[in-house]
Amino acid sequence: MYPELAVLGISEGSSPALVSLVGRQCALLPSYQIARQELAARGTPLDIKVVHRIARQLGAAVLTSRTRDRLRWRAGTLPPGSDLAGRRVAAMIDGGRTRVPTLIRKQKGKGKGKKQRRRYKAEWCEPKLLIIFEIDEQGRLKKKTRPWIDGTFAGPDEAMELLAVHLHCLGARQAEVVVFVADGAPWIWERLEWVERRLDLEAGRAVRVLDWCHAVPNLSLALEALGLPEDERQRLYGELRGCLREGWWGLVLDELETLGAAAGNPKDLEQPLGYLTKHARAGHLEYKRLRRRGLPQGSGAIESAIRRVINLRLKGPGLMWQEENAEGALALRAAAVSERWAETMAWVREEMGRDRRVGWQWVAPDRPNPWGVQAERSKKL
SS3 31: coil
User: pTM of the full predicted structure?
Assistant: 0.88
Q: Buried b vs exposed e over 318-337: b needs ≥16 C-beta within 10 Å?
A: eeebeeebbbbbbbbbbbbb
Distance, in Å, from the CA atom of 338 to the CA atom of 145, rounded to the nearest integer, reads 10
Q: 305 vs 96, 311, 330, CA distance in Å? A: 10, 9, 11
pLDDT at res. 374: 41
Q: What are the phi and psi torsion angles at 75 (to 5°)?
A: -80, -5
Q: How many other C-beta atoms lie within 10 A of the C-beta of residue 240?
A: 23
- pLDDT score, position 368: 43
Contact 80, 169 (CB under 8 A): yes
Residue 303: how many CB atoms within 10 A of its CB? Answer: 18
- Return the sign of the alpha-carbon dihedral for residues 116, 100, 30, 344: negative
Q: Which residues of the chain have pLDDT under 50?
A: 360-381
Q: What pLDDT sits at residue 8?
A: 79
CA atoms within 13 A on the CB side of 374: 9
CA angle (182 as vertex; 337, 143 as ends), nearest 5: 45
- Report yes or no: 337 and 301 within 8 Å, Cβ to Cβ: no
> For residues 87 and 137, what is the distance between their CA atoms, to the nearest angstrom?
11
Sign of CA dihedral 144, 150, 156, 160: negative
Q: Interior CA angle at 369 toward 187 and 365, to 5°?
A: 115
Residues 218, 124: Cα–Cα separation, whole Å: 26
Rounded CA gap, 356 and 349, in Å? 10
Question: Contacts by 317-324 with C-beta closer than 8 Å and gap 24+?
Answer: 319/99, 320/99, 320/100, 320/101, 320/120, 320/122, 321/98, 321/99, 321/100, 321/101, 322/100, 322/101, 323/100, 323/125, 323/153, 324/60
Amino acid at 346: A
Residues 265/273, Cβ–Cβ less than 8 Å: no
- How high is the pLDDT of residue 107? 80
Region for residue 318 given its phi and psi (left: phi exceeds 0; alpha: psi -120 to 50; beta: otherwise): left
Provide φ and ψ at 282, rounded to 5°.
-85, -5
Residue 108: count of CB within 10 angstroms of its CB: 11
Predicted local confidence at residue 359, as pLDDT: 57
Per-residue model confidence (pLDDT) at position 316:
84
